[in-house]
Structure 1
Amino acid sequence: METEKAILKTRGLTRSFSGFVAVNDVNFAVKEGSIHALIGPNGAGKSTLFNLLTRFLSPSSGQIFYDGSEITHASPANLARQGLVRSFQISSVFPHLSVLENVRIALQSRHGETMDFWLSDRRLKKYDDEVMALLADIGLETYAKRIAVELPYGRKRALELATTLAMNPRVILLDEPMAGMGQEDIQRTAALIQKVAKGRTVLMVEHNLSVVADISDMITVLRRGEIIAEGTYDIVSANPEVRQAYIGGSHD
């Protein structure tokens, strides 16, 4: 992979917990404009790496770079403002607000009005055109007035993606976006990820290998905190170490 074109990369990234090394000397790069999948068996270190990249964990050693600048010690909130957004940072759905209100709150956050719930309807309505455009992109415009808790599971996950997009991210990090979905929702969500990836970069942890095969430009495989393979699906699926890691085992 040409790391000079990487928007997100690590150098010697390591994280240990009381002597247990969860991520070990990882040199990792995500090419700008790509859909990059992170896979691996149980205990591979994927969640730890995700938490390090988004600064919810601090590394024991090593460096993290975003858009050419070191972010090893940046705060998660600062990274979100710079366009590096992990879905749960701003996609916690308010269950008893409408779909429109949930996305509008994310837009308020982007414009520095996060806690201004007392604002008049007139001032809040200035966001509504942008909200409806986002909902149309995600296919949720007909759900705008529905209360979030009433949404089917797959549509609720789509709402989370809409609130993520409201932050105008340059890089979206998705942790198991297909978890708990039926086949119809999986197909719909995979198509949505491909759609929102246009003009953006997506890094995702995903267990559904058929989805990874269909939509990923690049795949990184972790095992015991180390990268054992990287490349297209055809390349990594033919790798003996990858096949050994998955044969007879569950997918983390």
Structure 2
Amino acid sequence: MVRCGGPKTTQGGDVGDANANVIETRGLTRTFGGFVAVKDVDFAVRKHALHALIGPNGAGKSTLFNLLTRFLPATRGTIVYRGTDVTRTPPATLARRGMVRSFQISSVFPHLTTHENVRIALQSRHRETFAFWRADRSLKHYDEEVRTLLADVGLEPYAQRLATELPYGRKRALELATTLAMQPDVILLDEPMAGMGQEDIARTAELIRRVGEGRTILMVEHNLSVVADICDRITVLRRGEIIAEGSYAEVSADPEVRQAYIGSDHD
């Protein structure tokens, strides 16, 4: 069942308002030589929404993610986060302000335990990243928070397993735990279901729904069943431009969307 999104709010709304825009872009554009990857995108994500970004391969979804999180500089345009212009804010500073992203490629430390991976994320939040060399007993003050985070994503039984030994779906859950360790207000998930079997997809979708309570989530996802089931609002990109936005029912009924994306895969 799709939970339909309400109408757009005005730009620069008070982030204390439940319907305020947390992320906004105005005329956001990125070119690579003569190729326009993202073109004049005006985009908004409401506070506490679970918002999906979909489109065919090459639509510019990952480029837009990289622009929003400042891993790529914009050629032109503006990015606003919580009412502040962050168009030139460094990625690490943006993450400390509460916008944290995942990547398509696993970013955990494979030869550390699940517990140690989450603890390192907590150390990073507390600016103790280089304390990894200290004896475990000196880092015990993190243990309770690590256990809580692992319980939140269903990984408590795997606490002492090396990350490289985890099943793929559990490894993605670990990545989510390390993201949550940063205490984000906004989480950007880049294809969180990629490479998963059906059982892992169902588990991860429910996990995203649960951790999204009280947070804002923007996700790129190709699994349209997941998008239809858990997302409040959908934005469809084609060739770097937004062609539709609304609930899944609304965008899937749009003839231009069906031609560009949904229809090509589901005729």
TM-score of the superposed pair, with normalisation by structure 2: 0.91
> Is 1:28 aligned to 2:35, yes or no?
no
Q: Does the C-alpha gap of structure 1 residues 247 and 93 become closer, same or farther in structure 2, counting only changes over 3 Å?
A: closer
Contact 1:38–1:205 (8 Å) recurs in 2:
yes
Structure 2, unpaired ranges of 5+: 1-7, 14-19
From 60, 77, 94, the counterpart of 2:75: 60
From 9, 14, 18, the counterpart of 1:2: 9
Residue 248 of structure 1: CA displacement?
5.9
**47-56 vs 113-122, which deviates more?**
113-122
Measured against aligned partners, the alpha-carbon deviations of 1:54-87 in whole angstroms (never above 9, x if no partner) come to 0011111100000000000000000010010012
Read off the aligned partner of 2:86 and give its amino acid letter.
I
Residue 115 of structure 1: CA displacement?
1.6
Contact 1:218–1:230 (8 Å) recurs in 2:
yes
**Aligned twin of 1:229:** 244
Read off the aligned partner of 1:2 and give its amino acid letter.
T
**Aligned twin of 2:229:** 214
Q: Does the C-alpha gap of structure 1 residues 140 and 247 become closer, same or farther in structure 2, counting only changes over 3 Å?
A: closer
TM-score of the superposed pair, with normalisation by structure 1: 0.96
Does the residue aligned with 1:116 lie in a helix, a strand or coil?
Answer: helix
Contact 2:52–2:221 (8 Å) recurs in 1:
yes
List aligned pairs for 1:1-252, cutoff 5 A. 1-3=8-10, 4=13, 5-88=20-103, 92-246=107-261, 249=264
Does the residue aligned with 2:132 lie in a helix, a strand or coil?
Answer: coil
Tell me, in whole angstroms, the C-alpha distance in 2 between the residues paired with 1:54 and 1:29. 14
Tell me, in whole angstroms, the C-alpha distance in 2 between the residues paired with 1:70 and 1:86. 19
Read off the aligned partner of 2:40 and give its amino acid letter.
D
Tell me, in whole angstroms, the C-alpha distance in 1 between the residues paired with 2:177 and 2:204. 12
Contact 1:46–1:205 (8 Å) recurs in 2:
yes
Residue 123 of structure 1: CA displacement?
2.0
Does the residue aligned with 1:107 lie in a helix, a strand or coil?
Answer: helix
Measured against aligned partners, the alpha-carbon deviations of 1:180-233 in whole angstroms (never above 9, x if no partner) come to 000000000000000110111000000000000000000000001110000000
Contact 2:188–2:219 (8 Å) recurs in 1:
yes
Identity value in percent: 73
Matched pairs, number: 250
Contact 2:22–2:46 (8 Å) recurs in 1:
yes
Does the residue aligned with 1:72 lie in a helix, a strand or coil?
Answer: coil
Measured against aligned partners, the alpha-carbon deviations of 1:109-138 in whole angstroms (never above 9, x if no partner) come to 000001211223222111000000000010
Q: Which runs of 4+ in 1 moved over 6 A?
A: none
Contact 2:60–2:237 (8 Å) recurs in 1:
yes
Residue 250 of structure 1: CA displacement?
5.5
Residue 88 of structure 1: CA displacement?
3.8
